[in-house]
Amino acid sequence: MSAASQRRHATLYRRLLENMLLICLVPLFLVGGAAYLQFKHYAGRMVLDQQERLVLNHRDFIESYLRGRIAELTAITNQYTLEQLRAGELERVFAVIQQGAGIYTDIGIIDDRGDHMKYVGPYNLEGRNYSGSQWFLALKSRYLVVSDLFMGYRAVPHFIIAVKHPTPAGFWILRASLSTDYFSQIVEGIRVGGTGEAFLLDRQGLYQTKTLVGGDPLQPSNFPYLSPHRGVRTVDLKVGGRTFLCSHVWIFGDQWLLVFRQERAEAFAPLQRALWTWVFITLAALVVVCLTTLAIARNLVGFVARADAEKESLHAQLLASSKMAAVGEMAAGVAHELNNPLGIIETLRTWIMDLVPEKGLAHEDVPEVIDSARKIGDQVERCRRITHDLLKFSRRVESERARTDINALLGEMLGMVEHRAKADNVRFEFEPGPLPIVVTSPSRLQQIVLNILNNAVDAMEARGGLVAVRTWAREDSIQISFKDSGCGIPEENLQRVFEPFFTTKPVGKGTGLGLAVCYGLVQQLGGELEVQSRVGIGTTFTLTLPVVPPEGGRSV
């Protein structure tokens, strides 16, 4: 294939690759990018929703726990008289409400002056006065107080629940302190992963329960979002160089802020894993698209290259056959026009030869004139040969087809040429293979075979040699090979042997039309003629003929 074609195919391959990659990759990136953003948004939202739902559920749990304790203490004040409790019922009741779980640390009764009248618990608090305590002052206007975490007389952080019971003379108070450890366990009960924890803050931001990262109870938390608000809020917060996702909600009548926090990386780890999977799938798709595109582009360009090669070959054949046709037309005209004057020359020559001896020429000149006239005759004969070859070459008339025994026909032809060949010391070897009867034009085939055999004998140049003729059958055609041990045809001439007027024979020996005539005749018979040659070794002509000529083919 030409260098220009190769360049064109390389350009086609590059453009095809660029365009196909563009067409495939742009939608891939658009769809993939949009899916990535959507997924990230919704999955992120899901993580937040899940955390917020967890916090709200936990708030409800803590609140119902506290309300249970309040209901418990209120029931005691309603069911027992002050006297009963002081007389010893308090110890019994305390044992019952502890349920063996240590929910409370202690319990006591305080009169309306703030004096501790009765105490059941591990500390020595009986007789203490609480009239100055915040919770006692608050009870003046309310019947129930749940305190923030404070130290009090026992110097240990604790919560108290105080229930006021009115009497005709005034009131008394049942006060119980909640076990800090037990309450902390309730609050911390929703540990998630390695870093997720819940804790309570009071309105001043002091820790009310224990934490993993941060501080101990009653230490300041520095939590910046302490303003009252409705519902749950979630923010990012840096603690000790790590970013936490913090969801917080006010609980128990805005008394405490319930905070749940988890390190952001841990909270979003499943999302991150899903995103890595997405990246992997996208890269795999990218690789598949690139490889497929490469393969398709290569196949397409290969297909185009094959089609182009076929087109180039067809173009060359078309050029050759139109050249043959043009030469044929011209040859017929020239040959016919030449034959008439040649006829006249021949007749005039005959006239001269008839006249010369009688017209009194000098005696010694007569043989010269006759000799010249004879030579004119030789040249006319030579011209006649050329014009007749030309006419054969241009022949377009119909010839009858017949069922032909190719081996028999070849045998006859070899017999005919053998006589001349013997003089040139050329031997023939005929290896007929089993052949079907072929429908073809015997006279055309005779012409073809005769031309090829004469050429083979000429190729030996009187040195002598061997011409091997072989026949064999193929699927729906037969083949005849003519292999000579002659001088061979140089590579540069091999392409031209079927061109009209191409000859390497000495001037006057060949018209350069023999093989061109053969080529044309073989085409008319619907066959093919191929030549292979090596200089000094010999030439092989291979003739392929269809067993039945194609319908609508060229006329024979």
Please, what is the angle between helix 514-524 and helix 269-355, to 10°?
Answer: 120
CA distances from 379 to 103, 269, 338 (A): 143, 106, 13
Q: How far is the CB of 16 from another protein (least distance, A)?
A: 56
- Phi then psi for residue 221, to 5 deg, are -95, -20
Residue closer to another protein (CB basis): 347 or 495: 347
CA distances from 113 to 140, 406, 554 (A): 11, 144, 135
Q: How far is the CB of 554 from another protein (least distance, A)?
A: 16
Task: Show the CA angle centred on residue 243, arms to residues 240 and 246, nearest 5°.
Answer: 110
293's CB contacts (< 8 A; 6+ apart) are 17, 20, 21, 24
Q: Are 439 and 548 in contact (CB under 8 A)?
A: yes
Q: H helices within 356-441, ranges in order?
A: 365-393, 406-423
Q: Are 61 and 190 in contact (CB under 8 A)?
A: no
Q: How far is the CB of 435 from another protein (least distance, A)?
A: 26
Q: How far is the CB of 508 from another protein (least distance, A)?
A: 17
- Name the site residues for another protein (rule: CB under 8 A): 332, 335-340, 342-348, 350-351, 354, 380, 383-384, 388, 391-392, 395, 397-399, 443
Residue closer to another protein (CB basis): 70 or 450: 450
Q: How far is the CB of 334 from another protein (least distance, A)?
A: 11
d(CA 276, CA 86): 69
d(CA 478, CA 434): 10
Q: How far is the CB of 384 from another protein (least distance, A)?
A: 6
Residue with tokens 């046709």: 325
405, two tokens: 């025994």
Q: How far is the CB of 357 from another protein (least distance, A)?
A: 12
Q: How far is the CB of 337 from another protein (least distance, A)?
A: 8
Residue closer to another protein (CB basis): 156 or 344: 344
CA distances from 407 to 527, 543, 556 (A): 17, 13, 21
299's CB contacts (< 8 A; 6+ apart) are none
Residue closer to another protein (CB basis): 46 or 402: 402
Q: How far is the CB of 551 from another protein (least distance, A)?
A: 22
Residue closer to another protein (CB basis): 400 or 492: 400
Length of the chain: 556
How deeply is 456 buried, as exposed, middle or buried, from its count of CB atoms within 10 A (0-12, 13-18, 19+)? buried
Residue closer to another protein (CB basis): 350 or 495: 350
Q: How far is the CB of 427 from another protein (least distance, A)?
A: 31
Q: How far is the CB of 513 from another protein (least distance, A)?
A: 15
Q: How far is the CB of 399 from another protein (least distance, A)?
A: 7
Residue closer to another protein (CB basis): 394 or 479: 394
241, two tokens: 């160089």
Q: How far is the CB of 455 from another protein (least distance, A)?
A: 21
460's CB contacts (< 8 A; 6+ apart) are 424, 425, 426, 484, 485, 486, 487
Residue closer to another protein (CB basis): 16 or 383: 383
Angular region, 231: left φ>0, alpha ψ -120 to 50, beta rest: left
d(CA 138, CA 116): 17
**DSSP single-letter state for residue 53:** H
Residue closer to another protein (CB basis): 88 or 333: 333
Residue closer to another protein (CB basis): 496 or 554: 554
Residue closer to another protein (CB basis): 208 or 394: 394
CA atoms within 13 A on the CB side of 279: 7
What radius of gyration do the chain's Cα atoms show? Answer: 60
Q: How far is the CB of 520 from another protein (least distance, A)?
A: 14
485, two tokens: 């041990």
Lay out the sheet containing 197-201: strands in order across.
197-201, 256-263, 242-251, 233-239
537, two tokens: 């070794």
Dihedral of alpha carbons 348, 351, 357, 362, sign: negative
SS3 245: strand
